[in-house]
Every structure is written in structure tokens, then in C-alpha cells.
Chains A and B, each alone.
Chain A
């Protein structure tokens, strides 16, 4: 199985792992998300390597990236851009904001007001922004990697469901394992390694990978399994509401990419199980406490209840 594209992606993964030690699973998921043409939400406490991950991904995929630090006094124009009157030409000229890039790193997205958060909506969904009646297309590919502190922290504006739904995946990095942390402490600054990361894929190759992933064979057995999972979230009393059709499609898309990363030409249930939590974890709520984030517990319950073999 010597697919040059797959090798290139494997290289990218390996290179990233040197920067973010011991986080292979999360790196793989993040890459899966981008290769499935989706936006990624990284949720974790400060200092866990969210920004490093975002920067690293941009580098290995060879994407032009901008980083915006979201604050509570930020305005939509600060992201999208603004039309400024130019006295020399006597006209308004559009000054593109940081959103005009291939990979936008929206740092601490829940620190800013809902107004600014929703300014990102059109960009994320349509791949375009509209200012003063003019519509400007964003470059392709266009990714948003947003990071956020858990919404229970003080002084945050939790993302509404509609906005959460725009993110294909939500992952969290978590504390490193003790031995990994020890290595980290001994090895010194990893940020400097960031600049040494190689560029592993060209944008064209990226598009080709995306096309390949979409062709992975999904047998009816696997689709049945996926449907059972989705149906369970809708029927069970554990869930306050079920996964939407968009969520189901997202699940299939990510599972396909995961299968491709595994070097397979067909989907198996394990692919779905691997991406299940990041893909639907932020799209479901428990019935008992609708405001809480109990995605992981719910997904574990879901996995335990739905039989793979039907």
C-alpha cells in the first residue's frame, strides 16, 4: 500500500507528533477533520497546546494562516475587514480582514461577543463574506480552527448550537501522559520546532486527498450501523434531542477520511466509532441537563447500547 499521498499525510502526522508529543490520536482526528473539508473546534484549558496544534496543521498542509485573538471588545469588522474612504481616489476601498486566508486560527472564540462570533458564520458555511452589499469570495481551501476554553469558565460567551453545528469536529487535547510530559520538560521549547516543520502537502494534493476520501466504499452494513447510532440518539430518553441529518452526513464524511488514513478502501464500523465522539459530541445534549456538556458520557452510552452487528 504505497500511496504517495497517504505517505505524505503520514509524514505530516509524524512531523506534527514531534511538536505535540504523545497526541497522535488527536492529531489524526484534527487532520481527518481538515481532510474532510470541515472546520475544527479545539476545546481545552489554556496551555494545553491548542494554538500549537493549529499552527502546526497550517504549516504541514502548506496553508496560508492568520491568527486572530478573540476578545470581548472585538467587532465583526475586525475579522472580516472594512471599507475605508481613500481621499486620494475619492472612493471607498475594502481592506480585507484576517478572514481572508486559507486557515483562520480563531483563538479563544468564546471570549468574544455573539455578534462577532456570528460574523464568522457566513464565512464558515458559504466560503464568502459580504461587506456593504459586496460579496467577497474567500480563498480555497478555507478552514477555521477555533479554540475555546470550556464554556463553564468565567467571562465567556458559549457558542450557540447553530454555531457549534458548523464545526465538523470538536476535540480536546487533554493533559499529556507523565512520561511524555517529562520528555517535554527535558526537551525544552517546542514552539521553536514549529518553524522547522516541513511542508508535506501542496494545496492541489490536499484537494486530491479530499476527493479520494469521498470515494471510500461504504457497505450497507456500515450504513445500517450508522443509522442505528443516529436513530438511537433520537429515540433514547437519554438525549434531549437527536443527531441531525447534517450530523449523520458529517459522521460518514469523517469516517471515510479516517478509513483512508488507515489505508483502507472501505469503511468498517471501527472508523465510525473512532470519529463518533469528536463529530457528534458537541451536537448532543443530555435530557436531564440540557445546558451541560456531557458529550463523552453520552457517546460511551451510545456505543455500548447500539450493536455493531445489528
Chain B
């Protein structure tokens, strides 16, 4: 067991810091402290101020850390606890780094911890940082094998940089070719907790919470035609049930047989790809109306798209949607009941109002809607910070506050429609999105969340109506960030939001460019699985196992050959002298014939061996050996030309020689 050098100890500290830093933000505070304390202790030992800790101290530390982990993570059984355990082990091992074996354990675990940081962040910056910490760990690994006399700290880093840069081509090849094995790496972090986004219940005001977040919801790239902003209604959820306060998606949502309204006529078809951020929920988004569900996805009864398994990682899917369509105009009796259901006794004033209007418009649904929207337009204001509503929120909204966000208007309109027996539902999703001109895609963020209404028109089917458009038409036409920019509640939870999202000119430009970079990163790196087959087919035609194996082996063998070649080149540089060159040619020829020269053999001794094997070479080889000695050792350089001739003679004579049989070689 070798003790590691002092420089190596320093490198262990650096590597440790490198891999732990990304985790500090979420680790419990005491574990973060431990990660600071143990390297400090090791540094004290390193400088000779403290001795190596006694085993009893180590035991106490282990018990304390184990207790701490149990306390901190007792309610969680997920990746967090596992990663925290790894980090804690790493921090404790730091104290007793002494032998090479200790350092190896530390560094292997460090590489693992480095990999786990991808569970938390998958951005470009994280990938670059991980590469950087791999360089640090490899440098530390180098340092423990370095001559203990060497104290310089830079040499391991240089070697590590060289190793890592040499391996980058191999990394790329593996990335492109290696088959993606899904379940191995699909560790769900914490499935109970929904990430930010739409929820399956919607009380008035819920959606305005989302406007505080600029988190990415999804990105969409269109193949050809891009819909107008006013046509970008991304349907996600159908809120059917109303309990007097909030709208809810039916509980049997996922279990219902796949179905939905059947499309009769479709026009203006759009093809697009959605890259959807993880939500830990089932629902997805689609531009209405999508034609067919991709693999692993289904349509809900309301013809929204949902995934069979919860979306716990970034997912991409391709869809075709029709912007102009006609649905089968038949509503079953059961559905009719469901879509007109209202709780008894609540929001009485609103009901009265609805019935009154219903009479005024001669029971014409379209005129009824127009009437309500006109009222919204006249007397209501649109705000991100609506006042709280009382026991009957629809009443409170319609008669008292008269200001609200899209959820209020949609909920109120659907309520009014149902009050007079028109089937209606609230649709939750996103509206609009920001067009990125650099990579030609649309970015939809959480603040683009929106709610609108669909009501049933006999003979036409479901018709979309967006009451928000009546109050604040610019919300639908312009990008959400432009509309909300003046409202102080907008992006209240996002630091630096004013600067990041509010600005204009070059700030917006820069942000869009960075976002485009991220888009490509997500599309080509994180979601590469989807593109792999396509790319491989383009590169090698029909993809077969044999071709894959070959394509994997080829670059590896090229790298190996390159390394072998550099090794050999270093050993025998090509001689300049024509005599030496000719001699080397002759010797390698003889080596191929089964009699390689040993390095301690002069031509004189070597000749004896060659002649024993190939007697026919006797005369020419002996002449050669004699001349070689004369020129090389007896100082008769005048005979150099004869020597060259003799070498060439030998070489020519060798052509006639048949190699000794394999049998002889074995002997």
C-alpha cells in the first residue's frame, strides 16, 4: 500500500470540491457544512498541524452522519437520499485520504457523484461543468500515480486535459451510435410533487399564479406553415365539473376509453414537433385539432392529448393538426348532462342574469355569447392581481369585482352558458408563445397559460370562444410578456425578470439566441434518442447491427492505431543516413522472414544467426558484416559506398529466399 504524495492530496481536495459544488444548492445545510469541514480537517493534517484522526473519532463521525441522513431524508425515498448518502460518504472519506487505495475509492465515487449532478440539471452549462469536473477528477487520478518526488500541481492537470481531449472523439462516436437504453437512466426524482404548470383543478385566479413563472413549458417547431398568434391555442385539459368554486377535470380522465369527437372535415393541416418539459403529469399539449396520437399517447374524450405514463422527463413528439375542421355534431345524452351540470344553489345572481339574457336574445346561443362578451368588454377589466372572491366566486366576479384574469372570464362564461342549458366546458392550456427567429420555433412559457371556453352549438359541434379576447384582445394577438410587462405581479417569482424578459433591443435578441442554443441542445443532445434512427439512416442507409458494430469499432481501432503508431514512431525515428536507412529496410525484411535482430546483436553476431537459418545468404551477409565493421568501427569510411552496395545486394538476395516454414518458427 503506497502512501500518496502531498501534491496528490491537494488534488483530491480539488476534485472533491469540483464534484460536490453542483449539489450544494439542494443538500441539507449540515451536509454542506460537512463538505466544508472535512477538507479543512484534511488540510490541517496535510500541513502537519493535526494528526490523522483516531478510529473512534471516525466511528463517531460515521454515526453522526448516518443519524443526520436518517433525520433529513426519512420522509423521502428517492434519488435525493441516495445522492446525499454518496456525498456524505465522499466527505467522510476525504478525512482519511492517505493511501493510494483511499484515493482510488474517493475518485471513483467522485465520478459517480459527478454523473448524478445530471439528475438535477441538464443544461449546457451543467454539461460543460461536468466535463470540467471530470478533468479535475482525472487529474487527481493522475496525481496519485505520479512520482512521489514530483511536487508540481500542474502536470497532472496537463495530462488529464490531454487524456480527456483525446477521448472526446470517442465520446462523440459513442453519443451518436450507442443505442439508448431508456429505463437504466430514467430515475424519477420525486413523483409525488408536480412541477409547475397547469393543474387538474382550476379555481378562478389559479392561472394568474402561473404568470409569476417564466419557466419553460414547451417548444414547438413547425415544418412549414406557422399559425398566427391568435390561432395558437394549445389545448391541454378539459375542465368539465364545476362544484361552485372551482372547475375540475373528471377523475376518470385517464381511464376512459380513448375516443373524443371524430373529425369530419379537416383543412389547413400543420405538422410540428413539440418538445415538452417534464411535469410529472399525464397531460400534453396539442394545437387543435390533432389528427392522430403518437405512440404512447391517447386522446381524451375532449380530444386533448395525454401520455400513458407521467411525463417525468423531457419528451418530444410529432403531431399533425388541422386549424380548420368540423367535428361530428352529435352529443350523447350522457355527455349533454355532464356538460350542463351545475351545483345546486350556488351563484344565484349569476344564474338569474343568465336566464334574463337568454330571454333577451330569444334563446339564440351565438347571440347569447356575443351579448355576454359585449358586457365583459364594456364593464370589466383584465388584471393579474384580482381581488379575492367570496363564497360564490362567479357572483362575486360578475357583480362586485368585475376584474379578473382569463380563468375568471372562462369560468364565468361557461357557468352562464350552462345556466341556460348550453353544454359548455372550460379548456385549459397555453395561448401564443414567443417566436424565435434564429431557429424558427415557438417557445411557450408558463406565463402563457390560458383558459377559454368551448360551447356546443347544435349542428356545428364544439365552438371555441375566448372571453379574454373580448376584454383584452391584445392578450391573444400579442405575446404574453408584452401584454403583462406593465403589471407588477407579472413574473414576481422570477429573479431579474424585468431585465430578462422586459427589456428590448439587444437584450431580447440575446435572450432569444441563448434560448435557440438551448432549444438545439434539448433537441439534439438531451432528446437525441428520437433523432438517432433518423440520423443513422441518413448516414449509413439501412441500419443493421453489423453496420453499428463496425461503426463503433472503427473509430476505436483508429484511435488505437494512432496511439500504437506514435509509440512506435518515438522508438525508431527514420534515419537520415542512406546506409542506415537501407540497413533498416534490410533488417525489417529479415525480421519478417523470422529472424529479427535482437538489440544487443551487432551485425557480426546477427549474421551467424541469419546464416544458420538461411544458409543461402552466407556470402552476401558475411560481406555485409565485414564491411559494416570496417566502416562503422574501424574508421574506414571510404568503404561506405561499398557497404551500401553490399546492403542492397543482400536485400536483392533476400527476394529469392523463401521464408522458413512455420514448423521451424515454432522451434
Contacts and interface: CB of A to CB of B under 8 A. Distances in A.
Interface string A290-310: 000000000000011111110
B635 A304 contact: no
Interface stretch (A146-154, A267-275, A279-287): A267-275
Contacts of A304: 598-600
Q: How large is the interface on B (under 10, 10 to 19, 20 to 34, 35 or more residues)?
A: 10 to 19
A195 interface: no
Most buried by B among A269, A306, A307, A309: A309
Contacts of B634: 217, 219, 265-266
B639 interface: no
Given A270-B604, A309-B583, A217 B635 contact: yes
Contacts of A9: none
A217 B632 CA distance: 11
A236 B598 CA distance: 19
A9 to B, nearest CB: 22
A308 B601 contact: yes
B108 to A, nearest CB: 27
A269 B606 CA distance: 12
Contacts of A266: 633-635
Contacts of A306: 599-600
B553 to A, nearest CB: 34
Contacts of B635: 217, 219, 266
A303 B605 CA distance: 14
Most buried by A among B598, B601, B604, B633: B633
Contacts of A309: 580, 583, 602-603
Q: Is the interface of A mostly helix, strand, loop or mixed?
A: mixed
Contacts of A269: 602, 633
Contacts of B599: 303-308
Interface in A50-91: none
Most buried by B among A217, A221, A269, A306: A269
Contacts of B601: 308
B642 interface: no
A88 B587 CA distance: 81
Interface in B626-646: 629, 632-635
B600 A268 contact: no
Contacts of B605: 270
Interface string B518-554: 0000000000000000000000000000000000000
Nearest to A219: B633
B633 A222 contact: yes
A50 to B, nearest CB: 29
A239 to B, nearest CB: 15
Nearest to A270: B602
Interface string A257-271: 000000001111110
B600 A308 contact: yes
A60 B605 CA distance: 32
Contacts of A217: 634-635
Contacts of A307: 599-600
Contacts of A273: 600
B434 to A, nearest CB: 64
A188 to B, nearest CB: 39
A309 B601 CA distance: 9
A219 B604 CA distance: 16
Given A270-B605, A309-B583, A221 B632 contact: yes
A69 to B, nearest CB: 40
Nearest to A303: B600
A125 B605 CA distance: 37
Interface string B201-212: 000000000000
A90 B399 CA distance: 148
Given A305-B599, A306-B599, A308-B602, A268 B583 contact: no
A305 B599 CA distance: 7
Interface in B606-640: 629, 632-635
A308 B629 CA distance: 12
Contacts of B632: 219, 221-222
B184 to A, nearest CB: 43
A256 to B, nearest CB: 12
Contacts of B604: 268, 270
Interface string B567-605: 000000000000010010000000000000011111111
Contacts of B580: 309
Contacts of B603: 309
B633 A267 contact: yes
B591 to A, nearest CB: 13
A49 B635 CA distance: 41
Nearest to B597: A309
A185 to B, nearest CB: 35
Nearest to B603: A309
A96 B629 CA distance: 51
Contacts of A308: 599-602
Nearest to B572: A307
Contacts of A222: 632-633
Nearest to B584: A309
A221 B634 CA distance: 10
B629 A268 contact: yes
A273 B600 CA distance: 8
A132 to B, nearest CB: 48
Interface in B87-130: none
Most buried by B among A221, A265, A304: A221
B628 to A, nearest CB: 9
A222 B603 CA distance: 13
Nearest to A264: B634
B514 to A, nearest CB: 52
A219 B603 CA distance: 16
A136 B634 CA distance: 43
B568 to A, nearest CB: 14
A268 B602 contact: yes
Interface string A95-131: 0000000000000000000000000000000000000
A221 B600 contact: no
A303 B600 CA distance: 5
A45 B204 CA distance: 106
A266 B635 CA distance: 8
Contacts of A305: 599
A124 to B, nearest CB: 32
A40 B227 CA distance: 102
B406 to A, nearest CB: 77
Contacts of A267: 633
A223 to B, nearest CB: 10
A307 B596 CA distance: 13
A305 B600 CA distance: 8
Interface string A137-174: 00000000000000000000000000000000000000
A309 B600 CA distance: 9
A267 B633 CA distance: 6
Interface of A: 217, 219, 221-222, 265-270, 273, 303-309
The 10 residue pairs across chains A and B that have the minimum distance between CB atoms: A307-B599, A303-B600, A266-B634, A221-B632, A219-B633, A268-B633, A269-B602, A308-B602, A266-B633, A219-B635
14 contacts: A217-B635, A219-B633, A221-B633, A222-B632, A222-B633, A266-B634, A268-B604, A268-B629, A269-B633, A303-B599, A304-B599, A308-B600, A308-B601, A309-B602
Given A217-B635, A273-B600, A307-B599, 11 more contacts: A219-B632, A221-B633, A222-B632, A266-B635, A268-B602, A303-B599, A306-B600, A308-B599, A308-B600, A309-B580, A309-B583
